[in-house]
Structure formats: structure tokens, C-alpha cells
């Protein structure tokens, strides 16, 4: 069971990917994690990726797919995997599809966690973080006992730049421009499944498990 997770930043697809991985005993593969692992281990692919990252450049799609294929060739992926954060664009999806086709393989499900932009802006701009101990809160869903103060260490909570409304909106604009076309791409392949991401996290997961069986 090979799964691609789709959804806007803040839609909760990473959380769902981890839950799928645990439920079905398949690895949760995030491109960020495998880049870091290859760089840390000093692999040839890692060194190549690092040379781009050190210059502040994006790692080319072909190299990203090579690193990804290297990861999915490992023994723990024999029953499948969940891809989180890749592909992000149509060219990446095409490179991945070509590479998998050569291996007589394919993506079985592309699961889109659907959340309207206004919900995401509300969700992310309500986050608060403690820079001292790393605890995170939400002013509506997980509020601290005292407003603006960390329950754990008593330090001030902050709204991170990443979670500010204007930053979230910029990220959503990039998503709609680059990543949303993937929904059409996987729909044409007949593997797209959509779930309502506005409901409780457990209900989102229940909907996903009904799809995966």
C-alpha cells in the first residue's frame, strides 16, 4: 500500500501520515527526514543534496526522487509506505511516477486532507509556542491555563513568524499555485481520495481507514 498525502500547510496531513504509518505498520517517509538521514550518514546522495542546500538552492527533483527510491527500496517498505511532503509539484509527481513504473510499481492512494483556507489561517494563527521548553498551545483548542504563559515552565508564549496570518496566507498561495494541481493529476490516475480535514483528528483518521480498509 503506497500512499501519497496531499493537503495545504496546516491541514494536518503530517499527523494523519504518522497515524496511518502506526496503524498499518508501514514507514512514514518525509523528504526532510530522509535528506537529513542521508546527510548525517554521509552517503553519496546526501553529499550531493547538501551541496545544493549549502548554496540555499532547492534539491533538483531527479535527485530527490533518487534519495526517495533509495529509501523505499529498504526492507521496511516492502508492504508499503506513506509519503509526506513529496511530491509537491506536477514535475515531481511525473518524475516519481516514471521511476516507479520502471520498477513495475505505482502509488495506490493519494489522500487529500481538505481544509478551507480560512480554517487553516484561523488554526495556525491561533498557535502559541514556548521558545524556552518547546511546548505548543492553541488559544482555542489547547489554551494555556493562564493567557500567554506556558503551563510547563511559566515563560511567555509567542506567535511564531511562520504562524502569522500574512505568512500563512503566502504559504497557502504557493500551495494553490504549485501543489493543488496534484489533486487533478492523481484524480486522472484514479487514485485520489478526499477526506474532510475540518472535523476532529480522530474522525479524519476514521475516514482514512475506511478508504484504506
**Residue ranges in 13-142 assigned as alpha helix (H):** 13-24, 31-41, 44-54, 61-72, 90-102, 117-125
State the Cα–Cα distance between residues 65 and 110, nearest whole angstrom. Answer: 17
Q: Are 84 and 5 in contact (CB under 8 A)?
A: yes
128 tagged catalytic: no
171 tagged catalytic: yes
Active-site position among 18, 50, 164, 171: 171
State the Cα–Cα distance between residues 42 and 198, nearest whole angstrom. Answer: 41
122 tagged catalytic: no
36 tagged catalytic: no
Cis preceding-peptide flag for 99 (omega within 30 of 0) = no
Active-site position among 78, 152, 155, 160: 160
Give per-residue burial for 45-66: e unless 16+ CB within 10 Å, then b: bbebbeeeeeeeeebebebbbb
Active-site position among 66, 71, 127, 128: 127
Strand 28-30 and strand 109-114: pairing? Answer: unpaired
Q: Are 144 and 37 in contact (CB under 8 A)?
A: no
Tell me, what DSSP letter sits at residue 88?
A: -
Active-site position among 18, 88, 122, 164: 88
Question: Active-site positions?
Answer: 13, 88, 127, 160, 171
Amino acid at each position: 500500500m503506497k500512499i501519497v498525502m496531499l493537503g495545504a500547510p496546516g491541514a494536518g496531513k503530517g499527523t494523519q501520515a504518522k497515524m496511518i504509518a502506526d496503524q498499518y505498520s508501514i514507514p512514514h517517509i518525509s523528504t526532510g527526514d530522509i535528506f537529513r538521514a542521508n546527510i548525517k550518514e554521509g552517503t553519496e546522495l546526501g553529499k550531493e543534496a547538501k551541496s545544493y542546500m549549502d548554496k540555499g538552492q532547492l534539491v533538483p527533483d531527479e535527485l530527490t526522487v533518487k534519495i526517495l527510491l533509495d529509501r523505499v527500496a529498504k526492507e521496511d517498505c516492502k508492504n508499503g509506505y506513506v509519503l509526506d511532503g513529496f511530491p509537491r509539484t506536477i514535475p515531481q509527481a511525473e518524475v516519481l511516477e516514471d521511476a516507479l513504473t520502471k520498477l513495475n510499481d505505482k502509488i495506490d492512494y493519494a489522500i487529500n486532507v481538505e481544509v478551507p483556507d480560512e480554517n487553516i489561517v484561523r488554526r495556525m494563527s491561533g498557535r502559541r509556542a514556548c521558545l524556552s521548553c518547546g511546548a505548543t498551545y492553541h488559544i482555542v483548542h489547547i489554551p494555556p491555563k493562564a493567557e500567554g504563559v506556558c503551563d510547563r515552565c511559566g515563560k511567555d508564549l509567542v506567535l511564531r513568524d511562520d504562524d502569522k496570518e500574512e505568512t500563512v496566507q503566502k504559504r497557502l498561495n504557493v500551495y494553490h499555485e504549485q501543489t493543488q494541481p496534484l489533486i487533478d493529476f492523481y484524480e486522472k490516475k484514479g487514485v485520489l481520495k478526499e477526506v474532510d480535514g475540518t472535523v476532529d483528528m480522530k474522525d479524519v483518521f476514521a475516514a482514512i481507514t475506511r478508504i484504506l480498509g
